[in-house]
Amino acid sequence: MEQLLQQLVNGLSLGSIYALISLGYTMVYGIIRLINFAHGDIYMIGAYVGYVCMRHLKLGFFESLIISMVFCALLGILIEKIAYKPLRNSARITALITAIGVSLFLEYSTMAVATATVRTYPADVLINKTFSPIKGVIVNIQQVYIFIITIALMLLLQFIVHKTRIGKAMRAVSADKDAARMMGINVDNTISYTFAIGSALAGAAGVLVGIYYNTINPLMGMLPGLKAFVAAVFGGIGIIPGAFIGGLTIGIIETMVSGYVSSLYKDAVAFAMLILILLVKPSGLLGKNIREKV
């Protein structure tokens, strides 16, 4: 029982990271129907920006987190303007392949600048203490931080999307781009905002991972990026709470698989799930079956 609870704690902290990344995936998909494969690499860049802030500029945790989020937001806008915007009216596969190109570009540019060496965050940026809420279950304060920050950011996102003008514009563009434009919504700006917000969340995830696992490298975004994609599909791609639930579920399932079966199977199980969901409920856990407009 203790072991199960401990694994649940492990799974929740891993899942929170996936959730943060997959929120951005889902937002971008929801608005321009693009699976942004470069998203995982923005998360990696976020981790590196946090690293520079803490290691070289000697900033604290929250300053670094915010700088990293702002930097990633700008990077997200830049990528959208340079790589995706010119392709907005071309076939969807073109944009998808461009996304893969951007992803490789980010990975190997980082490797060229920062080298492939594993980097470590300074040890004392965030309290690293453990406590025991139940006997035999150990929780790290950093795990609590990750969980709380993820929930806070998701609530903030929900608020932006449903209660602000920007959010209203986003929903309008997502529903029908052309109609939205006719209503006087600036579609380009709205898409930029979406990229900015999604990328900022990925940046936050990068910093949190950097602190929690204390190891970052230029290719760290690949696998979590794919897992976050699975999480987004699991929850219903384009739906924000879906991404959150999907992320946590993937995290917990992975932990349970490595805890009770074998850690060699955890990636396989995550991707097997993707296939299964696509077969059984293609629109995801929270997705509605909307008939395609003809």
Q: Phi and psi at residue 84, in whole multiples of 5°?
A: -100, -35
Q: Name which of 35 and 114 has its Cβ closer to other proteins.
A: 114
- What angle (nearest 5°) sits at the alpha carbon of residue 156, between those of residues 138 and 172? 140
Segment 7-26, which members bind other proteins (CB under 8 A)?
Answer: 7, 10-11, 13-14
- Does position 118 interact with other proteins (CB under 8 A)? The reply is yes
217: tokens are: 């490298």
- Does position 214 interact with other proteins (CB under 8 A)? The reply is yes
Q: Which residues pair with 131 in a beta bridge?
A: 139
Of 65, 180, 255, 286, the one binding other proteins (CB under 8 A) is 255
Nearest approach, Cβ of residue 44 and other proteins (Å): 13
Torsion of CA 200, 161, 190, 246, to 10 degrees: 60
- Does position 260 interact with other proteins (CB under 8 A)? The reply is yes
Q: Name which of 117 and 289 has its Cβ closer to other proteins.
A: 117
19: tokens are: 């959730």
Please tell me the distance from the alpha carbon of residue 180 to that of residue 177, in angstroms, as a whole number. Answer: 5
Is residue 179 within 8 A of residue 258, CB to CB? The reply is no
The site that binds other proteins (CB under 8 A) totals a number of residues, namely 35
Of 87, 114, 138, 166, the one binding other proteins (CB under 8 A) is 138
Is residue 202 within 8 A of residue 46, CB to CB? The reply is yes
Residue with tokens 């900033």: 59
Is residue 246 within 8 A of residue 285, CB to CB? The reply is yes
Nearest approach, Cβ of residue 82 and other proteins (Å): 27
Of 70, 88, 213, 269, the one binding other proteins (CB under 8 A) is 213
Of 115, 164, 186, 189, the one binding other proteins (CB under 8 A) is 115
- Does position 263 interact with other proteins (CB under 8 A)? The reply is yes
Please tell me the distance from the alpha carbon of residue 98 to that of residue 279, in angstroms, as a whole number. Answer: 27
Binding interface with other proteins (CB under 8 A) = 3, 6-7, 10-11, 13-14, 115-118, 120, 123, 128, 130, 138, 140, 209, 213-215, 217, 219-220, 254-256, 258-260, 262-264, 266-267
